[in-house]
Amino acid sequence: MSDPSPAAPERDRAAGYAFALAAFGTWALFPLFWNQIDGVPAIEMLAHRVLWTLPVCAAALVLSGRMTEIRRAFDSLRTIAFLALSTTLISINWGTYIYAVTEGHVLDASMGYFLNPLVNVLAGLLLFGERLRPLQWTAIALAAAGVAGAAIAAGQISWIGLTVAFSFGGYGAVRKLIDVPAIPGLLVETLLLAPLTAGYVIWLTIEGTGAFLTSGLKIDLLLLASGAVTALPLMWYVGGARRLPMSTMGMMFYLTPTGLFLLATLLYGEPVTLGDVISFGFIWAGLAVFTVDIRRNARRKNRATAI
């Protein structure tokens, strides 16, 4: 699929921004959900997350009369191979994120998502031939300085941060390379994982060590809800990524780690150093510069169209 051009319909770009904002805002609040599932190991939560995402996607396609779109995912071996790759990447991301949240490493997850937009920008430059304007380069430099400052202050970048950044950045890039709509693509991805995750949940049930149906109604309902909580923002994200440049998605993505940062520090009491605060300021400055550039460019296009 080709990258959206400057001449793309304005309503399509507006829909892209709406999808992206919905996805990133929801992900920023994810710890509030996953921390409610007390006492369930991260790997078991991941299995249920995959398992219950499948019926949500299937229901969405049935209700919208779009089940025939599944065929597009099997049009070629190339599409199947790319979906297998995106399935692997998103599974790694989901599992790492759940582990980070439930083990008290929300700040590490936040830093990973601060890194993710830089991975998106790199993918845009290398894979999609995107070009950045001077102010956008300035914004990227500010954000990179903020991330580097945080790494220097901490003395290292954790494996959680690196894994979260590259797995999700890679996922977005792979999905942008294939012409498969958001919901059918996610359904195929969960179908590919379903035999493994269903088998694991069944094995836990037989062994009597699984949390589902043994840990109370609250846990059961939360595990069931994990499908919708997973599917909806991911559908929105893919919808945004298919309509907007990777560089724009990259900068907008800072909404998610900003929310995670605030939750980690204000709600969960994870310690914050002066270096963290300075780095955070650099990243927000980069986001502000990028936003100004987008608005200036939009006004310039509107004036040109009016003429």
Burial (CB < 10 A; 0-12, 13-18, 19+), residue 145, is: middle
Interval 57-100: pLDDT, tens: 899 888 888 888 887 777 778 888 999 999 999 999 989 999 99
For range 243-265, the mean pLDDT: 82
Residue 49 and residue 30: Cα distance in Å, rounded? Answer: 13
Does residue 123 or residue 34 have the better pLDDT?
A: 34
Q: State the Cα angle at 160 between 41 and 86, rounded to 5°.
A: 85
| pLDDT winner (highest mean) among 6-10, 116-120, 166-170 | 166-170
Per-residue confidence band for 2, with pLDDT thresholds at 50, 70 and 90: very low
Q: What is the DSSP string of 49-60?
A: HHHHHHHHHHHH
Asked if residue 189 has pLDDT above 80, the reply is yes
In this model, does residue 5 exceed pLDDT 50?
A: no
What is the model's pLDDT at position 167? 92
pLDDT bucket at 1, cuts 50 / 70 / 90:
very low
DSSP letter (8 states) at residue 249: H
Q: ∠ CA 245-246-252 to the nearest 5 degrees?
A: 95
Is the pLDDT reported for residue 42 higher than 70? yes
Residue 219: count other Cβ atoms within 10 Å of its Cβ. 19
pLDDT at 156: 65
pLDDT of res. 3:
47
* Residue 222 pLDDT > 80: yes
Task: Examine the pLDDT at 135 and tell me if it is beyond 90.
Answer: no
Q: Look at residue 261 and tell me whether its pLDDT is greater than 60.
A: yes
Percent of the chain residues past pLDDT 70, beyond the cut = 93
Which residues fall within 8 angstroms of residue 77, CB to CB, at 6 or more apart?
A: none
Confidence grade of residue 4 (pLDDT, cut at 50, 70, 90): very low
In this prediction, residues 196-202 reach a mean pLDDT of 93
Domain boundaries, the chain: 10-132+157-246
User: In the prediction, which pLDDT does 306 show?
Assistant: 59
Give me the pLDDT at residue 307, please: 60
Chain-centroid distance of CA 37 in Å reads: 21
Average pLDDT, the chain: 84
Residue 233 pLDDT greater than 70, yes or no = yes
pLDDT at 221 over 90: yes
